[in-house]
Structure 1
Amino acid sequence: MRLTPLVLAMAAAAILPAHAATIIDHANGYTLNSTGKLVRFTALAYDDAGRILAVGNAKTVAAKAPGARRIDMQGKTVLPGLIDAHGHVFGLGDISTAALLYGTPSLDAALKAVADFSKANPQRAWVLGNGWNQEIWKLGRFPTAHELDSAAPERPAVMTRVDGHAVWANTKALQLAGITKDTKDPAGGKIERDAQGNATGILVDAAMDLVRAVIPKPTEAEARASLDGALAELAKVGLTSVHDAGIGVLEDRLMRSYADQGKLTTRVYAMIGDTTDDFDQLSKNGPLKSYADDVYALAAVKLYSDGALGSRGAALIAPYTDAPHTHGLLFYKDAEMRAKMEKALKAGYQVNVHAIGDAGNRQILDGYEALLKQYPQAAGMRHRIEHAQVVALSDIPRFKALDIIPSMQPTHATSDQNMAEQRVGPQRIKGAYAWHTFLKQGSKIACGSDFPIEAPNPFEGLHAAVTRQDNAQVPAGGWYKNEAMTLQQAFRCFTLDAAYAAHQEQVIGSLEAGKWADFIVTDADLFTVPATQIGKIKVLQTWVAGKQVYGKH
């Protein structure tokens, strides 16, 4: 009898175990257990679906995985896949198609980068870029439209500041946006003006929308290219899960499509951006808590209370120390902000609000306090404040009392050290980037990077959390080192507690039986290298649900 391919396949299936397993052996493994204790292991077994069967040594895991194939790690360090609790996936992909101004040491260098990009991309209708920081340039002021005109004179140009809370537009862009001397500042935004009242080219926070409204929207093909680029970069740096802080209908559709096709190689816990039209459309069926084997979720909403410290858009209770004429900007009045929070909360969504200044944080804490009294059933939703960057010392205990998660980004502290104390002075800085103070009171911190505003590499975040130094080991001894984390605390906030902040600690965040086999292999031992070397650790392999999604060649 001639055996057909179907018969052969059925015969093979009958011979193989129903759940063919894999054993990772000879590993220098570290994980946390469910109580947060650091555990060593040398072997790990998982089934063909990618769920962990056992963690321990070769003998103990073999008993749980008879007939398993074996992968020899040759003594390399294996860690749980790291989690970034606050990033912007499509934004990360977009920067590869724009002028890069990150780290430019001077205005002239930034202008040269814009001019070079413009010349290299003559087909683009708009010249777009990211990453400028006037603090590094030591200008003592913002750059101007006239200066940007010199680098991109023929086309509209818009450069986004490193913190994402201000744009620098040239004259053509201002003209296309209809911004004139008579244009009023929008609520929650500011148009920087000269002595005669003319727009200088800098638009802060909500004012950015005036020019962004006339920039052509990306096509679906461009959005797919951005997603592809971002996923490749996330896998390369060992991020097996990220929380995407603000998406819309197009992004959600692409995420689901990629998840269906097995192309979403990093898990995404997404937040709907705002409670406006996209929320109304995306929330019709309520929160999506898990999709395609926990690869995707859409169960949170991202709101904004204020701007950023670098552009003086963060809302402060008292005026800026280095600009006594301004307090920064609250985007909404208390009642308006609370209505947005209530809309999301009543629909069953976790509410995650951007708050950087002490006034912004207080507004949101007040909102949570009132709403959780009104809707006690929402108290277990693990609502968050994104950034929690400058908080009045008297407000820090309220995070614990209200069970609000501070979602914080360690590299923000080391990037901001050159201007933060100038902005808020020596007293308010005591409640800024106050990781140790939050941890001491029992708050769980969800760590991230805010990529692409900061690099997505979580080892740079771990380094900043432990040393309070930037990549150049500045300052010596660490910036306000009393607020540093221990290495185990930092490891936890990039793994188990980041998972907790997405209601996912039962499925990811550590390597334990029943969870997904999300793990990374690194070129150095995180727990034995000098603290100054943590940021230099490289990822050799990244695995999600037992499938390798990145390998260093």
Structure 2
Amino acid sequence: MKYEVPVPNAEWVFHSGAVFDGRRLVPGASAVAVSGGVVTAVGSDDELRAWSGPSTQAIDLAGRLVSPGFTDAHVHAAYAGVERLGCDLAELSGARACLDRIREHAALPPEPGNDAGWITGGGWYKGDFPGGYPGTDLLDAVVPDRPVYLINRDHHSAWVNSRALELAGITASTPDPADGRIERHADGTPSGTLHEGAMELLARVLPEVTDAQLEAGILHAQDHLFSVGVTGWQEAILGHYGGYPDASAAYRSLAAAGKLTARASGALWIPRSTTVETVPALVESLLERRKLNDAAGFSTRSAKIMVDGVPENCTAAMLEDYLRPCACAGPEPSGERGLLYLSSEVLHAVSAALDAAGFDLHMHVIGDRAVRTGLDAVAAARSANPGSAGRHHMAHLQIIHPDDVARFAALDVTVNAQALWACNDDQMTELTVPLLGPERAAWQYPFAGLAAAGARLAMGSDWPVSSPDPWQAIHVAVNRAHPDYPDAPALLPDQAISLQAAMAAYTSGSAWLNRSPGGSLVPGAPADLAVHSANPFDLPRQALSSLRVDLAMVAGSPVFDRAAAASASPLQRIPSA
């Protein structure tokens, strides 16, 4: 099959491979031509040979796949970049490796402006520590004299040492905030882990994260995302959260300077302190921020609402009690059923107002009660605003009551999946399932059921919560098993989706959700593309995690070239017809 836009002598021709256009593997297509930053033709090698001229840069795919660049629909690029430039624990495995890295970092001199000598960073994994939450004793043993604040991979908890607690004035008499919890010893003294809103108790004493640091972090993250084929993303929180300031100014600066070369957008944070009375003023302020960001070339049409927390610390909102005791309290008292950070009344009011103002709702939902409450809020917003074109979506979606699966398609709510989590790893088997029990554990990440019911699918990584490499997430979406746990049984294998569906979700699905022009390889589309190390449709599905990205482009310009990084050999050319 051949599609054309008549542009002679293409700047680039990718040939002798396979083509995924964002929705399907194109039958008979083996080549793609690019000129002027857009795709100009897709077809067979013979059909596209006429597009080659003396100046054409020809890339021999040698059977590899070319696809649209991936779009990450939920990522914290600013946080990830800053943390990678600090005390980075994200790539480590095991408590000992974490402690060794922290000790090494503590040997470095504090950065300018860090008068108290804070050690900050993050990326530790709950599954590496008994019970999921490490204590001050471990940190005190390696850093006794400097304060330490390390966010865990899911960004719902922070690990601190005694010096940090001392500087913040957190003691046995410090009450838990309404939207969080302090882990404590039996006598009430803080044990070293702070959950959700309790992380904010350190905000006043933490060293400031400057705009310059945020800019450096975003650029560092951009390079890393390009290396895994991600050419566009949505920054999932733009606001003050977890000790970080709003990164909007850093994004504006980079966009205006032409340094933000990815197709990045952002979601403006809805504070947990929002009330019905403050909704009108909040929406007006968001509109002003959106206008300011738009003027700099950075789109922020989404609004991020964190509906609940996560099950491992009992803050995910559940319809029924957790099976183990946990201490949770919030604006809607619910015994042992987790937290709703906004009451149903507030969630309905802010969702309807945001929808009316042209914002796409981006909801964090984990527990089945959060899912149902969020869907109810979208239903109310759709009813209040007939003809709404909001591209509303829910991220994470871990536990969905079967009665709510069909509601996603009915309400046109996109499933923003973090597929890498849909597996049996240490966190799932040791921390999550014991709290849920077998019935609710069988409702986790029902991707196939949602797709069969007609729901739209998009994908994201939630990096630095988990790897930003889409091939790792696609592997799990297709296998329901993580490559690092080869002996673990698949998690609900009937909820696996096809490779085509997973790739479509991570390309055209996420690009549509982000209102990005990328996500497809058809004539006239931006030449945002990725060349992969093999054709995944020819591989056993158990080998998908082995794939790498060899080349990535944005608007026809290379932003990552694995071969060029390894050697300076020039690109080969093919003769023109």
Query: Is TM more than 0.5 here?
Result: yes
CA RMSD of superposed structures (Å): 2.7
> How much has 1:286 moved relative to structure 2?
5.1
> How much has 1:223 moved relative to structure 2?
1.4
Task: Tell me which residue corresponds to 2:226.
Answer: 235
> How much has 1:540 moved relative to structure 2?
1.3
Show the 5 A alignment for 1:272-283: 272-274=268-270, 281-283=285-287
Task: Tell me which residue corresponds to 1:126.
Answer: 118
Show the 5 A alignment for 1:122-201: 122-123=110-111, 125-137=117-129, 139-140=130-131, 142-201=133-192
Counterpart among 38, 45, 55 of residue 33 in structure 2: 45
Is 1:328 paired with 2:338?
Answer: yes
Task: Tell me which residue corresponds to 2:253.
Answer: 257
> How much has 1:55 moved relative to structure 2?
1.1
Is 1:69 paired with 2:69?
Answer: no
Task: Tell me which residue corresponds to 1:7.
Answer: none
Give secondary structure in 1 for the equivalent of 2:550: strand
Moved more, 255-264 or 230-239: 255-264
Is 1:22 paired with 2:21?
Answer: no
Give secondary structure in 2 for the equivalent of 1:84: strand
What do residues 203-251 of structure 1 show as CA deviations (whole Å, max 9, x unaligned)? 1111111113421221222112111210110111110111210124853
Partners of 1:477 and 1:527 in 2: CA distance: 24
Give secondary structure in 1 for the equivalent of 2:317: coil
Change (3 A) 1:543 1:97: same
Is 1:410 paired with 2:440?
Answer: no
> How much has 1:341 moved relative to structure 2?
2.2
> How much has 1:424 moved relative to structure 2?
1.1
Give secondary structure in 2 for the equivalent of 1:499: helix
Kept in 2: contact 1:32–1:39 (CA 8 A): no
Moved more, 299-308 or 70-79: 70-79
Kept in 2: contact 1:316–1:358 (CA 8 A): yes
> How much has 1:289 moved relative to structure 2?
10
Partners of 2:61 and 2:461 in 1: CA distance: 31
Q: Which amino acid in 2 is paired with 1:268?
A: A
Give secondary structure in 2 for the equivalent of 1:432: coil
Show the 5 A alignment for 1:128-527: 128-137=120-129, 139-140=130-131, 142-248=133-239, 251-274=247-270, 281-284=285-288, 296-323=298-325, 326-378=336-388, 380-414=389-423, 415=425, 416-418=427-429, 419-476=431-488, 478-504=490-516, 507-527=517-537
Kept in 1: contact 2:13–2:32 (CA 8 A): yes
Change (3 A) 1:530 1:68: same
Kept in 2: contact 1:469–1:475 (CA 8 A): no
Kept in 2: contact 1:53–1:64 (CA 8 A): no
Moved more, 150-159 or 70-79: 70-79
Change (3 A) 1:152 1:339: farther
Kept in 1: contact 2:392–2:412 (CA 8 A): yes
Kept in 2: contact 1:33–1:39 (CA 8 A): no
Is 1:97 paired with 2:107?
Answer: no
Task: Tell me which residue corresponds to 2:539.
Answer: 529
> How much has 1:364 moved relative to structure 2?
1.0
Partners of 2:174 and 2:346 in 1: CA distance: 24
What do residues 136-174 of structure 1 show as CA deviations (whole Å, max 9, x unaligned)? 33x236322233222221111112122110111112212
Partners of 1:528 and 1:548 in 2: CA distance: 26
What do residues 238-296 of structure 1 show as CA deviations (whole Å, max 9, x unaligned)? 1011121012485333323333333223211211122679975552275699788xx84
Counterpart among 69, 72, 75 of residue 81 in structure 1: 69
Change (3 A) 1:193 1:285: closer
Give secondary structure in 1 for the equivalent of 2:73: strand
Kept in 2: contact 1:165–1:307 (CA 8 A): yes
Kept in 2: contact 1:191–1:199 (CA 8 A): yes
5+ residue gaps, structure 1 = 1-16
5+ residue gaps, structure 2 = 1-5, 240-244, 275-280, 328-335, 567-577
Change (3 A) 1:224 1:194: same
What do residues 503-525 of structure 1 show as CA deviations (whole Å, max 9, x unaligned)? 33xx3211001110111122222
Kept in 1: contact 2:252–2:293 (CA 8 A): no
Change (3 A) 1:447 1:39: farther
RCO greater where, 1 or 2, for CA within 8 Å and sep 6 or more? Answer: 2
Q: Which amino acid in 2 is paired with 1:283?
A: L
Partners of 1:195 and 1:491 in 2: CA distance: 49
Change (3 A) 1:358 1:121: farther
Partners of 1:279 and 1:263 in 2: CA distance: 29
> How much has 1:198 moved relative to structure 2?
2.0
Task: Tell me which residue corresponds to 1:541.
Answer: 551
> How much has 1:473 moved relative to structure 2?
4.6
> How much has 1:436 moved relative to structure 2?
0.7
Kept in 2: contact 1:192–1:199 (CA 8 A): yes
Task: Tell me which residue corresponds to 2:277.
Answer: none
Task: Tell me which residue corresponds to 1:4.
Answer: none
Change (3 A) 1:22 1:103: closer
Kept in 1: contact 2:414–2:457 (CA 8 A): yes
Q: Which amino acid in 2 is paired with 1:32?
A: D
Partners of 2:438 and 2:365 in 1: CA distance: 20
Q: Which amino acid in 2 is paired with 1:258?
A: L
> How much has 1:195 moved relative to structure 2?
2.1
Kept in 2: contact 1:41–1:57 (CA 8 A): yes
Change (3 A) 1:142 1:447: same
TM-score, normalised relative to structure 1 = 0.88
Kept in 1: contact 2:477–2:502 (CA 8 A): yes
Partners of 1:58 and 1:259 in 2: CA distance: 37
Is 1:55 paired with 2:67?
Answer: no
> How much has 1:109 moved relative to structure 2?
4.1
Task: Tell me which residue corresponds to 1:5.
Answer: none
TM-score, normalised relative to structure 2 = 0.85
Moved more, 537-546 or 17-26: 17-26
